[in-house]
Amino acid sequence: MLKLRKVAITGSIASGKSTACSYFKKLGAYVVSSDKLAHELLKDTLIQTKIKKKLELEGRLSRKNLANVVFKDQKKLNSLTSILYPSIMNQLKIHFKQAKKEHSPLCIIETPLLFESKQENIFNTVICMKTKKSLSKTRCKYSDFEKRYRFQMPQAQKEKRAHFLLSNNGTKQSLKKQVQSLFDSLTQNQK
């Protein structure tokens, strides 16, 4: 029987987590984005009500407005995380079961705030994207890069806590080769 390996991919903002995940998916891994799960949860009116009450917000709750609030105040970011993460964890359990049902050798969860949310213990393996801050800033689609970067655990600490590092300071081809090698290594003794 195939044993499912639960893998987290983390790293700072714009470090290449999504790109690495897309390569893992092409190799046969089951891939889930915790950000996408959070975005779906934000559509839930009950969760919106909890967020508005806890963060003392009024009016329409958009992701952009929410980001403007939480990336100015660490306590509010922590409050948002405390509201969303229990539901995200429930969703992850469903995805783990689905990955196992589909006989996927790896279930990879892209999760930027893995250590900040203290969820690393549910994973067998943690991969951290290693990227120079200057490259991340160039690749980032958000104008408030510095603010978002500052609210995450320092990159060096994430790297120390990970089992594996994927360097994303070179070409996409280089990253693709690293992903292939790591995929082969992680799935080698899956039986």
**Could you say which DSSP state residue 29 is in?**
-
Whether the Cβ atoms of residue 46 and residue 56 lie closer than 8 Å to each other: no
Average pLDDT over residues 119-144: 91
Question: Which pLDDT score is estimated for 15?
Answer: 95
For residue 150, what pLDDT is reported? Answer: 84
Domain 5-185 = CATH 3.40.50.720: no
**The tokens of 83 are what?**
């509201």
What's residue 146's pLDDT?
Answer: 85
- Give mean pLDDT, residues 111-119: 90
Q: Please state, in angstroms and rounded to a whole number, the distance separating the CA atoms of residues 179 and 184.
A: 8
pTM for this prediction: 0.91
Residues comprising the chain, all counted: 191
Output the CA–CA distances (angstroms, integers) from residue 183 to 40, 78, 168, 175, in the order listed. Answer: 29, 33, 16, 12
Tens-place pLDDT, residues 9-21: 999 999 999 999 9
Is pLDDT at 55 greater than 70 in this prediction?
yes
Percent of the chain clearing pLDDT 90 (strictly above): 73
Calpha distance 54→42 (Å, rounded): 14
